[in-house]
Amino acid sequence: MLHNQEFKVYIITTGDIMRFFVVEIIIGTMTYSLAMKIFHNVILASAGGWIGTETIKRLNAAVKVLLK
C-alpha cells in the first residue's frame, strides 16, 4: 500500500504556450531557413534550426540569471 499519496497539479499558462510557440515554431523555422540558405543541405539545416532554438533558450536563461 502507498502511505504517501501525492496529488500534483501542473499549471500551464497562456504565456508559457505563447513562449513555446514563438521560440520553437517561429524562431526554429527562421533558423532552419537561414541554415538552408547557407548550407543547401537538409541535414545541416535541421541541425542549424535545432542549434538556433537551443541557443536562444540558453541565452534567455543566462540573461535571467545575470539580471537577478
Q: 34-52, pLDDT tens digit by residue?
A: 999 999 999 999 999 999 9
Answer yes or no: is 28 within a domain.
Answer: yes
- Residue ranges making up the domain that contains 49: 14-67
Query: Does residue 33 fall inside a structural domain?
Result: yes
pTM: 0.71
The secondary structure of residue 21, as a DSSP letter, is: I
- 41 occurs within a structural domain: yes
> Would 3 be classed as within a structural domain?
no
Q: Indicate the DSSP class of residue 26.
A: I
Domain contains 20 = yes
Q: Which of 11-15, 28-32, 60-64 bottoms out in mean pLDDT, i.e. has the lowest?
A: 60-64
**Cell numbers placing 26:** 517561429
**Per-residue confidence (pLDDT) for residue 2, from 0 to 100:** 62
